[in-house]
Amino acid sequence: MRLTKKLLTTTIATLLLTFSFGATAYASELDTTTVTEQTTTEASDDTLSTDTSIEEQTAEITLQNVVEGGNTEENMDLLLQEGYFIDEQGELNYEAPVAEETIAEEAEDVLEEAEDKEVVVEKPSYSESDLRLLTCLIYSEAGNQNYNGMLAVANVVLNRVKSDVYWHANTIKEVIYDNKWSTQFAVTIKGRSGVSMMDKALKIYDSRKFTGSNPEAQKKALNKAIKAAKAALTGTNNIGSYLCFQNKRSASSIKRKYSDYEIIDDHIFYRNK
């Protein structure tokens, strides 16, 4: 009986010791895990992810120092210097500064891309014959008008060259001497002497001999007509797509028929289709 009690006591003592040792080991393991997690957390707080750039890490450390130092004006200036900015909502944001080398490289890339996309637009070419005919028509129709009036007359001729309305006249010469429906430019009509105003202008253009009461005025008018013709032939247009013009004495009847028109000097320009 005494032996049995002794064995029972020994067994219980052993069990108690085993339980106590296991609990201690578990507690020790639990403490170790907690310490490890805490250390990891603290490490993550002190050290940024390796995915973060050096600039962002520096700015993050600066932010931490400033926050710890209090929200003073000096600290805020330091933040702004490190790349932080305050948005419209009043929140603090960070934008990593861009190196000057990077800015220069990006600017160079933009310039190269622009050069690749650059399209060289060639001005329309014209022949001496076209210049001669157009100049003489301008001189005959608007020799007493200013440059804008001359340029407008020139563009009526060029608009007709391109227009489907005058499908039968595809060159400057064909437009000027067009009489399919009727004579288009009165200056081409020959008088009793068999010479038209256009013929006289061509003679003056070719010889550069000016006669009459004011040869200097004729010379000045021809030079201005040449300038207007060259401008129109190289793309300068001051009347849009107008196809017709008349002396502004006829403006009243034209205004009743056409709502779109423009008066320049002594002519009214109208009809675009």
For residue 12, give the amino acid letter.
I
Q: What is the pLDDT of residue 55?
A: 55
Decide: 220 and 245 in contact? Cβ < 8 Å. Answer: no
Nearest one of 230, 49, 197 to 123, comparing CA atoms: 230
Q: What is the pLDDT of residue 211?
A: 86
Decide: 92 and 79 in contact? Cβ < 8 Å. Answer: yes
Rounded to two decimals, the pTM is: 0.57
Contact residues for 250 (Cβ-Cβ < 8 A; gap 6+): 268
Q: What is the pLDDT of residue 142?
A: 97
Structure tokens at 24: 């201690």
Tens place of pLDDT per residue across the chain (273 aa)? 444 444 445 555 454 445 454 444 444 454 444 444 454 444 444 444 445 555 556 656 655 665 555 555 566 566 555 556 565 555 666 665 555 566 667 666 666 665 555 555 566 789 999 999 999 999 999 999 999 999 999 999 999 999 999 999 999 999 999 999 999 999 999 999 999 999 999 999 999 999 888 999 999 999 999 999 999 999 999 999 999 999 999 999 999 999 999 999 999 999 988
Q: What is the pLDDT of residue 21?
A: 47
Euclidean distance between CA atoms 230 and 222, whole angstroms: 12
Give the chain's length: 273
Burial of residue 195, with CB atoms counted within 10 A of its CB: 0-12 exposed, 13-18 middle, 19 or more buried: exposed
Q: What is the pLDDT of residue 26?
A: 46
